[in-house]
Structure formats: C-alpha cells, structure tokens
C-alpha cells in the first residue's frame, strides 16, 4: 500500500517541477497565436465564433498527468479584437481512475460581455463548470457551431492532443490572471 501512494506523489512532484519552468511572455504569445491559427485551419466554425466573440483565451500547451490523482496546468493569452490583453494560468486537479500523461491546446471563446467580465473581474480566478454557460465543441463538428447558432456564454475547444490519458475522474479547473 505504501508503494501505491508513492507513485502518485512522485508523479505529481515531477509534473509540478516541469510546470514551474514557465516560458517567456513573448514565446507564450507566439505559441498562443500559432495554436489559435491551427484551430482556425482545423475548425472553420471557430472563425465564425471568433467573429462574434468578445474575446478568445488560448492555452497553447496544457499538460496533464495522473495516476489515481493528477494535475493539469498551463499558461495562456487573452485576445480581444485580435490584440493581446492579458496572460492567464490554468490549473486543476483530477481524482478517480485516471492514468497517463497528455498535453493539449485549449481555447475559450467568450461570447457575452457578462462572461468576459466574469473572467476579468474575478481576483480569485474563473472556475470552469461553475461560472458561465460553457459548451465544448468538437473540432470536427464545428460546422454546427456557427455565428448564427451561438447561444452559449462561452465555447470551448480542446485540440492538438498528444499523449495517452485514460480513465474516469472528477476534475476541477481554475483560470487565474497572471499579469495585473
């Protein structure tokens, strides 16, 4: 039993040490721009959402690792009218029957002023699943999510997945502003 507890602890320590090495702001800006352009190329419906969105928050490299208990983290860029207006971190914990490691890109399209203000005004962070009405869209099915059909406060895309992660878990995710 002792060994079963040591494995998740070692995995979490390794993951946290990798996450501590934050990239430069300029590199983060370049990576976020490249990830957003890749999303637009892969999902034309994302362009229609972007045209109506108040802002787009892009996390170009979210890392996730777990063995029964896990963590996920990354840094991202907020774009408003095509301009960078802020930098954010995303972090969360997983608990359940999860195992593996993966990385992915993550984009949130804020469709209403209320949802965007919920992100901008919260000092303690923005909780995914608790704040606005978020709809996650499959990159392959975005023809259905067009500017005419967009009804949610926030649309989310997970794309560019790499690695292997499997299982069932409960997770909580929080987004926090890095620069004030």
The boundaries of the domain holding residue 9 are 2-177
pLDDT in tens, 36-62: 999 999 888 888 899 999 999 999 999
For the chain, where are the E strands, in sequence order? Answer: 55-80, 83-110, 126-128, 134-137, 154-177
* Residue 174 scores a pLDDT above 80: yes
Out of 94-98, 116-120, 124-128, 138-142, the most confident range is 116-120
* Residue 151 scores a pLDDT above 50: yes
Count Cβ neighbours within 10 Å for each residue of 156-167 and write b for 16 or more, e otherwise: ebebbeeeebee
* Residue 73 scores a pLDDT above 80: yes
Query: Is this structure's pTM higher than 0.85?
Result: no
Average pLDDT over residues 127-156: 60
pLDDT at site 81: 93
Structural domains counted in the chain: 1
Report which of residues 114 and 95 the model is more confident about.
114
Residue 27 φ then ψ, to 5°: -65, -40
What's the mean pLDDT when you consider all of the chain? 77
pLDDT in tens, 92-106: 887 777 778 888 899
CA pair distance 107, 41, nearest whole angstrom: 14
């Amino acid at each position: 039993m002792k060994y079963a507890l040591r494995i998740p602890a070692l995995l979490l320590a390794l993951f946290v040490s990798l996450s501590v090495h934050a990239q430069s702001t300029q590199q983060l800006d370049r990576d976020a721009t490249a990830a957003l352009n890749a999303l637009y190329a892969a999902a034309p419906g994302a362009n229609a959402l972007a045209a109506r969105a108040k802002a787009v928050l892009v996390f170009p490299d979210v890392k996730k690792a777990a063995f029964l208990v896990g963590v996920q983290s990354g840094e991202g860029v907020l774009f408003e009218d095509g301009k960078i207006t802020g930098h954010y971190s995303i972090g969360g914990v997983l608990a359940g029957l999860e195992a593996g490691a993966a990385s992915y890109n993550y984009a949130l399209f804020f469709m209403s002023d209320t949802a965007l203000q919920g992100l901008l005004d919260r000092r303690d962070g923005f909780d995914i699943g608790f704040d606005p009405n978020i709809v996650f869209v499959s990159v392959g099915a975005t023809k259905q999510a067009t500017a005419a059909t967009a009804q949610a406060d926030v649309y989310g895309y997970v794309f560019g997945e790499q690695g292997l992660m499997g299982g069932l878990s409960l997770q909580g995710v929080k987004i926090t502003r890095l620069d004030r």
